[in-house]
Structures are given as C-alpha cells and as structure tokens.
Structure 1
Amino acid sequence: MTAELVRLEAVTRTVVLPDDTDLHILTGVDLQVHEGDHIGIVGRSGTGKSTLLNLLGLLDRPTSGTLTWSGKDASRLRAREAAHIRGRDLGFVFQQFNLLPGRTAIENVMAPLMYASGREFWQRRRLAGEMLELVGLSKRADSMPQNLSGGEQQRVAIARALVRSPRVVLADEPTGALDLETGQAVMSLLDAATLESGAALITITHDTNVAAMARERFRLEGGRLHVLTDLTDVVA
C-alpha cells in the first residue's frame, strides 16, 4: 500500500474583498494524495485552481478544514518548516517556464541544489546533468534559454523540478504555452518521470487533453472537487 502524502479534509479558503465582503473561493475540498498518484484537476477560469495550488504548495493556509502533509497538520507548520518542505519535497512546474535568464540549461537545473547540503550540493552539476539526460536534453546543457524551443524550455523546467527527487510535483497549466503536440509530449515525459521516481503528480489545468492523461480526475466547481468521468463537461 502506498504512503499517503497529502490529505485535505473540508478545506475552505475565504478572502476579504476591499468592500469588506467575503469571497468564498473554496468551500469544502476533500482530497487524498498518495505516492505515485497522477491527479488531474480541471475547471473553468476563476474557479479557484490557483488558490488550491497555493494551498497544496504550502504557500497559503486554509481558512478552515484540515490540510496534512505526511501526517502533519500544515496549519501548525512554522514558516521555516513549510519552506523546507517546499524546497525538499515539492517540485513546481508552471505555464511560464520561469527559467533564469543569462544561465545555461544545466545552471537552471542546478539552481535548487544551491540550497542543498552534503552530497546534493557538492555533486550538483552531475545531478543536474543526469536530470537533463532524463528529459532528453543532455546535448543542450550549455544552451541559454532564449536558444531553446518552448518544449525544450519546459523540459528544462521539469528537470529543475525533479532534481531534488520531490515527493509531490505540482504542475500549473504546464502545457499552456505549448502547441498541442509538444504539450502532449511534455506531459507524457512528466508523467513517466514522476511514475519512475514514485512521486505524486498533481496537474491543475483547464485543458481536457492534459487532464485525460491523469489516472484520477476531478472537476473544481462551486469551491469543491467532484470526481470527473466525462471530460466534455469541462469548458475553459
């Protein structure tokens, strides 16, 4: 039986607007994430996908309900503890590749290892090189981001997200800046890489083609997650 990594129980998120009224973004989200899961979460624009991502990434806290990480109540985590989990156990892949300008592909992948210690720090170039080889870009290690195609840039971003062997990878519209064929290839790569490492992959998207690749699919609507059986129900 695979280990549970993240659990959300009746999680809500409410923000106060400038006119002092409450905006209820999430109204009761339940979700369990285990090692090796590939979960796709889809929904129309404005349904709270980014809010949910921020909670899963420990960048924000629920208004009510419980979010646990490896059995620990996230609301009780100190800022330093949450930051440590983000750096050690969470990998992020975004629609905008967010590569460092003026840094080569391998230097971009090495970036998270600059905050590591021991073997990870001292062997950071070798580890980054292995990740680039995994995503098929070993021959592009010394290329600058502006000299890479969109698909190649996203593969560098994936290598960077995986270089510290995270337990959970959060992908926010990871194919939004790519054409359909390139996007599907990138998602296949991301799915295979996380499956091999045993990491859980959570993809948040409005693209039904991306969602269809997940093994568990949910629709975010009305502030809650609903099991998704028919992808035609989702319209961006």
Structure 2
Amino acid sequence: MVTLKGVTRTVRLPDDQELHILRGVDLAVFSGDHTAVIGRSGCGKSTLLNLLGLLDLPTSGELCFQGTPVQKLGGNARAKLRGSSVGFVFQQFNLLPGRSALDNVITPLLYAGGATFWRRREIAMDMLDRVGLAARAQTHPNMLSGGEQQRVAIARALVRRPRLILADEPTGALDVDTGQAVMALLDTVATESGAALITITHDVNVAALARACYRLESGVLTPAETPAKATAVMPA
C-alpha cells in the first residue's frame, strides 16, 4: 500500500540552519494492516502523517503509494490520489459546524464522479448507519456528543472507501471508554473494507489495539513491541 525507504524531511529555519525532522525512515504498510506509530510531542509524528497522507514530499528517500513513486507526481496528481485513496481522522474532528452530520459525510463525495456523485446522499447515509448514527443524520455537530462527533468524522473518512486510513491522535479528545469504542469501530470498518489503518498516537492503550507498532523518536522510526496487549480491553 505505502512504503518509505530512507525518507528524510528537513526544513530550513529563518536563521538558515537546517532542522532535521525525519531521519532515514523505513516503513512498509500493506492492505488490511493496522499499524500504530507512537511518540512524544515534537518527535516528527505530524510530519510523518503529512508524508503518508501525500500532503508533503520527502527531502530525500523514496515514498511509494500503491507502487507509484510519489515524488514523480505533480501537485494535482497527488491531490487526486489523496482524495480518492486516503481518509483522515483527526483528533479535533474538523466537522463543518453549520452542516448536519449527513452533510459532513457527504462532503468528500462532492468531488467524486459518475454514479458515486449522484448517489452521494444514499452512500453517506449508509456509512452513517454503519457507525450507528443514521438516526442522528440531520443533527448538527454542536448537538452531538464527543463520541458521536468522532463517529461522524470516521464515516466521513471512510465514505469514499479509501485504501489508506490515517488516524491522528483519534482518541485524544475522548474519555477512555469512548476512545476504546471509537478505535474498535475504526479497526472493524477498516478490516471489513480491506483498508490499511495507520494510527499516530502517544497513547499506549490506543497503540495496543494495533497489530504492528513503531516508535518515532527524534525523527528515527524503529519497530517496537505492541504495548500492553494483555491489558487492552476491547468493548463488547
């Protein structure tokens, strides 16, 4: 699905010094994988997420998405690939406040073509039903609980059937029980659709739900033992 080989990301600071954010990152994620990347704030997680989500390009190294070297694609081609193949789930939900839950889920389908565009309402309602929110379709975000808002965000991320799902601190704004329920839902829906799921987190309880785990520290990515598997509680 996505591979990184020797990927670095360096930015030049105003004083002309170079800041090395990622240092020789190697990673391979396949369809159906659930991979967690754990690390403290400032370790480069957001930069890695931007690369995986085709929002940015490496300074050096190779980034391939479904076998295609991303550096060889122009900006429009990357945007088209990102829109059709990558789904983002953010910590802060990023829902449109003046729109209903259904309208929020429909939004990505406005850029689809053919039958998908004309069936966008039906497709979005089906996805809301899958996350248990069909009855709340016309409700605006400010009238939804934190867990319900996150489920709307998940439905929006999955509505175009992306091949890669990127979850950025997806439970950071939720209580423990709601967070575990959200992660179980995200994992289940991703598994059913055969998508690869990458969770970027500092929470070992979230990482424990993944099947492969990596630690990012000072821009260096290394394999890590999946933490606390024995104590991870999956909701009924």
TM-score by length of structure 1 reads 0.95
1:154 to 139, 142, 150: 150
For 2:227 and 2:121, the matched residues in 1 are separated by 42
- Aligned Cα root-mean-square deviation (Å): 0.9
Among 118, 139, 148, the alignment partner of 1:143 is: 139
* Cα deviation 1:90-139 (Å, max 9, x = unaligned): 00000001001111001100000011111110000100000001000011
- Rounded Cα–Cα distance in structure 2 between residues aligned with 1:72 and 1:86: 13
1:121 pairs with one of 107, 117, 127: 117
Q: Secondary structure of the residue that 1:59 maps to in structure 2?
A: coil
Aligned to 1:200: 196
Given candidates 8, 17, 20, the residue that maps to 2:4 is: 8
Q: Deviations over 1:161-206 (max 9, x none)?
A: 0000000000000011101110010000000000000000000010
Instruction: Tell me the distance in 1 between the aligned counterparts of 2:226 and 2:193.
Output: 29
Superposition deviation, residue 44 in structure 1: 0.8
CA distance in 2, matches of 1:145, 1:105: 7
Deviation at 1:230, TM superposition (A): 6.0
The equivalent residue for 2:231 is: none
CA distance in 2, matches of 1:102, 1:221: 39
Aligned to 1:74: 70
Instruction: Report the residue type matching 2:84 in the other structure.
Output: R
Q: d(CA) in 2 for partners of 1:222 and 1:50?
A: 13
In the other structure, the counterpart of 2:48 is 52
Distance 2:168 2:69 in 1: 24
Shift of 1:222: 3.0
Q: Which residue of 1 aligns with 2:57?
A: 61
SS at match of 1:231: coil
Give the deviation of 1:231 after TM superposition.
3.3
Aligned: 1:108 with 2:129: no
Task: Quote the Cα distance in structure 2 between the aligned partners of 1:87 and 1:97.
Answer: 18
Note if contact 2:213-2:226 (Cα within 8 Å) is conserved in structure 1: no
The equivalent residue for 2:233 is: none
- 1:25-80 C-alpha deviation (Å, 9 max, x unpaired): 10110000110000000001110000000000111110110001111111111111
* Residues in 2 aligned to 1:198 and 1:205: alpha-carbon distance in whole angstroms: 22
d(CA) in 2 for partners of 1:220, 1:82: 25
1:186 has 2:185 as partner: no
> Equivalents in 1 of 2:18, 2:227: separation in Å?
31
Distance, in Å, in 1 between the alignment partners of 2:227 and 2:111 is 40
- In 1, the alpha carbon distance for the partners of 2:153 and 2:81 equals 19
Match of 2:219 in 1: 223
**Structure 1 regions of 5+ residues with no counterpart?**
none
One-letter amino acid matched to 1:159: A
Structure 2 distance, partners of 1:60, 1:46, is: 17
Supply the distance in 2 between the matched residues of 1:119 and 1:40 (Cα, whole angstroms): 35
| Match 1:133 to one of 126, 129, 134 | 129
2: CA distance, partners of 1:12 / 1:221: 14
Give 1:221 shift.
Answer: 1.3
How many pairs were matched up?
A: 228
Further displaced range: 218-227 or 80-89: 218-227
